[in-house]
Amino acid sequence: MEICNSYSSSSVDSTNPSPSEYSVNLSLSLTFPSTSPQRARKQDWPPIKPRLRDTLKGRRRLLQRDYDTCLFVKVYMEGVPIGRKLDLSTFSGYESLLENLSHMFNTSIICGNHRDRKHHVLTYQDTDGDWMMVGDIPWEMFLETVRRLKITKPERC
């Protein structure tokens, strides 16, 4: 209401200003309701009922909760043209991921730190498009940045 009263008491011609006049008069500190803090305080826009408003206010930021994120990524084994798809959100950490992959591809796979000539190494492509060794960063961070996985032959790394 405060905003609308300021429309009428401003020096703008009060007989039916058009919407374009409102936008031009930003210098008179008229602002559009949805983004103004006053409107947010008044809680009368958008027109939703109090129970929904409370529910949305009490809502935790979904981005922070990883158990309800479905994170399917493609997994390729070097030399094998057909890949697999894996939901990373079902794993609790690198260990269970490796265990599962080893089982899936029927070979032993390890992370970067312990590489030797016998085992495959797991690598991933991140959001920048770069191919990196799996295992260097914390698991939660890895989930945020991983886009696809590749199981490489030992000599490559």
Write each residue from 68 to 97 as x if it is in contact with other proteins (CB under 8 A), else as -, in one continuous string: xxx---------------------------
Which of 17, 112 has the CB closer to other proteins? Answer: 17
Of 11, 63, 113, 155, the one binding other proteins (CB under 8 A) is 63
Q: Binding segment for other proteins among 2-10, 119-127, 128-136, 137-145 (CB under 8 A)?
A: 2-10
Q: How would you classify the pairing of strands 146-152 and 72-77? A: parallel
Q: How would you classify the pairing of strands 146-152 and 120-126? A: antiparallel
DSSP one-letter string for 79-145: T-SS-EEEEGGG-SSHHHHHHHHHHHHTS-EE-GGG--SSSEEEEEEETTS-EEETTSS-HHHHHHH
Of 11, 27, 57, 129, the one binding other proteins (CB under 8 A) is 57
Q: Which residues contact other proteins (rule: CB under 8 A)? A: 1, 4-5, 8, 14, 16-19, 22-23, 32-35, 40, 42-53, 55-63, 65, 67-70
